[in-house]
Amino acid sequence: MRIVNMREAETHLSRLVQEAADGEPFVIARAGKPLVKVVSVETPELAEARRTGFMAGEISVPPDFDRMESEEIEAMFDRDG
């Protein structure tokens, strides 16, 4: 595996990163001592994204949904106590 010193890594970072992304990892060293290994990140394939409407036709909302149980809810607020 290729070892590059810190100065070279700073100077040629874009090229080195592209090479790592292309499958050629490298090690950055300072004073000859290896510090970090740079490798490509394997991006997992994205799972099929769920979108709005993916259950269209499978769920129905009653027309009085916003008024359901309204009398019981009002009664809870009207209690004296």
pLDDT digits (tens, 9 = 90+) for 4-40: 999 999 999 999 999 999 989 999 999 999 999 999 9
CA separation for the pair 14, 11 (Å, rounded): 9
Quickly name the fold that domain 2-38 has: YefM-like fold (3.40.1620)
**CB 6, CB 30: distance < 8 Å:** yes
For residue 41, pLDDT beyond 80: yes
pLDDT tens-digit series, residues 45-70? 555 556 777 778 888 888 888 888 88
Please give the pLDDT value at position 14.
96
Please give the pLDDT value at position 79.
72
